[in-house]
Structure 1
Amino acid sequence: MHKPALVAVDPRVDPSECQTMIEVRQGVDALDRALVALMAERQRYMDAAARIKPDRDAVHDEARIEDVVSKVLAAAKAHHLSPDIAEPVWRTLIDRCIAHEFGVYDRTRS
């Protein structure tokens, strides 16, 4: 017998419609879970980069870092995200991703 597919219910209320802190926290918690999934996917791209880059010196690329930050700031502006939040968050994310990539590079080349 065929079982109906489970449909995920989005517990979020639009922020402008929130009336309680419970609604705010449910929205934040749902977004945090989504962000973790996206960051895990980003990490898998760093794993691929570590596999593809020809040498360890290619792992840290200052020009690429500035390019990513520039693109993020443009996207942040379009989405009304404060650059005071976006820039330090992405610079930290990039820093940690580079550290991860160095680790993967070193482990796979040992």
Structure 2
Amino acid sequence: MPDLRARIDRLDERLIALLAERSALIDEAARIKAKEGLPARITSRVDEVAENARRNAAAAGLDPDLAEGVWRLMMEHFIAQEDRALEQLRRTE
């Protein structure tokens, strides 16, 4: 069991690193959206990302409902992050 737990911990570290990378990309998206006058939430993109999560999960043998739920939670967090960044960027213009 200790070896399995160590593998899970290493995987969790990799997942955190990937989430940090995604967060940085969201900040980049906010800068682009500020220049283009776009909102943080683009519903068609949210739906597209959720569907991608379902499709990728199914292909990987993961429950698509789990993947969609996790991704929608993650997207809500990142949309809020974008909203804050957009607000700050617009105040400095």
TM-score (norm 2): 0.89
Describe the SS at the equivalent of 2:62.
Answer: coil
Give the conservation status (yes or no) of the 8 Å contact 2:53–2:64: no
Out of 55, 61, 72, which is 1:91 matched to?
72
Q: Distance in 1 between matches of 2:90 and 2:65?
A: 38
Q: Which runs of 5+ in 1 are unaligned?
A: 1-20
Give the percent of matched residue pairs that are identical in Structure 1 and Structure 2: 37
Q: CA deviation at 1:87?
A: 1.1
List structure 1 runs of 4+ shifted beyond 6 angstroms: none
Describe the SS at the equivalent of 2:51.
Answer: helix
TM-score (norm 1): 0.76
Q: How large is the Cα RMSD of the aligned pairs?
A: 1.1
Q: CA deviation at 1:107?
A: 1.3
Q: Which has the larger radius of gyration?
A: 1
Out of 86, 90, 93, which is 1:109 matched to?
90
Name the counterpart of 1:81.
62
Point out which structure has higher relative CO (alpha carbons under 8 A, 6+ apart). 2
